[in-house]
Amino acid sequence: MACANLVKLNSPSSLWIGQQSFSQRRGSSARRVAASPIRAGAYTDELVKTAKSIASPGRGILAIDESNATCGKRLASIGLDNTEANRQAYRQLLLTTPGLGEYISGAILFEETLYQSTTDGKKFVDCLREEKIVPGIKVDKGLVPLPGSNNESWCQGLDGLASRSAEYYKQGARFAKWRTVVSIPNGPSALAVKEAAWGLARYAAISQDNGLVPIVEPEILLDGDHPIERTLEVAEKVWAEVFFYLAQNNVTFEGILLKPSMVTPGAEHKEKASPETIAKYTLTMLRRRVPPAVPGIMFLSGGQSEAEATLNLNAMNQSPNPWHVSFSYARALQNSVLKTWQGRPENVDAAQKALLVRAKANSMAQLGKYSAEGENEEAKKGMFVKGYTY
């Protein structure tokens, strides 16, 4: 480590959540960190302004940062080949939707998309800016097996992140996303949680140093048959660890956004939870772990149906929260769009209208005013995929 005050990462890490590894911090002189002033970075004011802009009333994030391989799977579902031209056509459909900025404040792009233009030669980032949508960029390099763990993963991508982030900023990106995952059926081990939290914290600090608002996303996967109480227990442990390391890395909380999983039962649990129950457990976790300095909580949908994701968000906005509670959805905004489009130019207008329908529904949910009346059956179909990769 470059500084003796930083926390060591080589402590025993094979224990499971709920055992000693998470309590060693309390009262342990080895874990104490000397207080030091946090200096404002060159981009601090801009970061705070950007985060507030994204966390604006009635708006949320459109996530279209799927890797080329994952985007190929989406295209294959409607009979299209995974070519750059087809990926560009689909993302052009999404990013040029008239009026999208009324409901969407930010769009997370894959690197390919950040540098692409429309077929008329207009940069996608300029299309977004005209709608007052902040361009964002996925910066992680994906999940790989974590040696020494219980068949768990860690997220790679810190090498070269500073230089890449600087280039993304020049291209017009103003926020970043880094997705790592925690699996409840596989433990989770203290090693996996610590690795996830430390990686997120280093990424967040590097992003802020280069002018990008970091979205902090430790996704707790839906896989498993555990009850909602177990999800709450794990989520509290994970977010405690994340904020510990964010603080150690001098991350400015006012200049970040969170992208948590909702606290739900495992996808294979015998009993489904109501939106009111999910809201209760999720908000309990957030109030226990997330400082009010954080401007926005932008939930991931994680395989819920379009309607479920919207109903659950709406339930969480029935009373005031310390933060902007909104959405950062991929499948829960795109599923109906893709099925409407079918790769046909004559369906573009209808597909864009389908996107506006979903975006408006989630905008109303952010305001706590959504009604599921009139939702079609397609929107109610679940999208959970066991072992899903992004």
Short-list 339, 343, 345, 386, CA closest to 358? 339
Q: Is 300 helix (H, G, I), strand (E, B) or coil?
A: coil
Instruction: Give the pLDDT confidence score for residue 310 in this predicted structure.
Output: 95
Q: Can you tell me the mean pLDDT for 186-198?
A: 95
* d(C-alpha 55, C-alpha 249), whole Å: 23
Say whether pLDDT at 387 is over 70: no
222 within domain boundaries: yes
105 within domain boundaries: yes
Which of 111, 152, 195, 217 is catalytic? The answer is: 217
Q: Residue 178's domain spans which residues?
A: 43-369
CA 359 to chain centroid:
17
Instruction: Give the pLDDT confidence score for residue 15 in this predicted structure.
Output: 44
Instruction: Give the pLDDT confidence score for residue 373 in this predicted structure.
Output: 73
CA angle 50, 51, 55 (to 5 degrees): 120
Instruction: Give the pLDDT confidence score for residue 20 in this predicted structure.
Output: 39
CA angle 134, 138, 144 (to 5 degrees): 165
* d(C-alpha 318, C-alpha 119), whole Å: 43
Q: Is 289 helix (H, G, I), strand (E, B) or coil?
A: helix
21 within domain boundaries: no
CATH number where 146 lies: 3.20.20.70
29 within domain boundaries: no
| Phi, psi (degrees; rounded to nearest 5) at 31 | -100, 0
Short-list 210, 224, 132, CA closest to 182? 224
Asked if 154 contacts 144 with a C-beta cutoff of 8 angstroms, the reply is yes
Structure tokens at 332: 């829960």
Burial class (CB in 10 A: 0-12, 13-18, 19+), 375: middle
Instruction: Give the pLDDT confidence score for residue 23 in this predicted structure.
Output: 39
* d(C-alpha 42, C-alpha 44), whole Å: 6
Contacts of residue 180, defined as CB under 8 A and 6 or more positions apart, other chains included, come to 140, 143, 153, 154, 155, 196, 199, 200, 217, 218, 219
Residue 189: how many CB atoms within 10 A of its CB?
A: 23
Which of 138, 194, 237, 259 is catalytic? The answer is: 259
Instruction: Give the pLDDT confidence score for residue 42 in this predicted structure.
Output: 87
Q: Can you tell me the mean pLDDT for 63-73?
A: 94
Asked if 208 contacts 252 with a C-beta cutoff of 8 angstroms, the reply is yes
10 within domain boundaries: no
* d(C-alpha 380, C-alpha 84), whole Å: 31
pLDDT: which is higher, 386 or 22: 386
pTM value is 0.87
132 within domain boundaries: yes
Say whether pLDDT at 331 is over 50: yes
Among residues of the chain, what percentage have pLDDT more than 90? 79
217 flagged as catalytic = yes
Contacts of residue 55, defined as CB under 8 A and 6 or more positions apart, other chains included, come to 105, 257, 295, 296, 298, 323, 324, 326
Asked if 153 contacts 181 with a C-beta cutoff of 8 angstroms, the reply is yes
81 within domain boundaries: yes
Total number of domains in the chain:
1
Q: Is 104 helix (H, G, I), strand (E, B) or coil?
A: strand
Least confidently predicted of 81-95, 169-183, 322-336, 362-376: 362-376
Q: For the chain, how many residues are written? A: 390
Going by pLDDT thresholds of 50, 70 and 90, the confidence category of residue 52 is: very high
Going by pLDDT thresholds of 50, 70 and 90, the confidence category of residue 252 is: very high
* d(C-alpha 142, C-alpha 179), whole Å: 8
Instruction: Give the pLDDT confidence score for residue 7 in this predicted structure.
Output: 39
* d(C-alpha 135, C-alpha 146), whole Å: 31
Instruction: Please state, in angstroms and as integers, the Cα–Cα distance from residue 206 to each residue in 34, 81, 96, 321, following that order.
Output: 22, 36, 31, 29
125 within domain boundaries: yes
Structure tokens at 190: 């203290």
Short-list 248, 258, 338, CA closest to 295? 258
Burial class (CB in 10 A: 0-12, 13-18, 19+), 292: exposed
* d(C-alpha 220, C-alpha 113), whole Å: 27
